[in-house]
Copies of this chain bind each other. A is one copy, B any other.
Amino acid sequence: MNPTLKKMTIVAERVLKDKLIRLIREEGATGYTLIAVEGEGSRGVRASEFEGRNVQIETIVGPETAQRVFDQLAERFLEAYAVIAYTSDVEVLRGTKFVRDSPANSDS
């Protein structure tokens, strides 16, 4: 009834916001939550104060979507941009809502 899914958190410089949302949407996320954050990491990069600080994107997804987003992040963004990502297991209220990816429904 409360199935276990992944909560994926991505912290990235603001300039990536729209791209990351598009990415997670394409990989099967049914929604996301955005938080305006500040942060410091190893790169210390910020496009411009004017653009705002970092953005934290949280999305509840099935494990396959999570893995695909991880792969895409590593391939497209990890090198050139200030971005980190991690997942954890969550138990979700009415979890069926969060799994959209057709073949991935039977996440193993």
**Nearest residue in B to A60 (C-beta to C-beta)?**
B86
Tell me whether B7 and A88 are in contact (CB under 8 A). yes
**Nearest residue in B to A2 (C-beta to C-beta)?**
B70
Interface size of A by CB at 8 A reads 37
Classify the interface of chain A: helix, strand, loop or mixed: strand
Tell me whether A37 and B40 are in contact (CB under 8 A). no
**Residue-wise interface mask of A (11-48) relative to B, using a CB-CB cutoff of 8 A (1 in contact, 0 not):** 10000000000000000001111110111111000000
Q: Does A89 contact B (CB under 8 A)?
A: yes
**Nearest residue in B to A98 (C-beta to C-beta)?**
B84
**Residue-wise interface mask of A (77-93) relative to B, using a CB-CB cutoff of 8 A (1 in contact, 0 not):** 01000001111111111
**Nearest residue in B to A94 (C-beta to C-beta)?**
B78
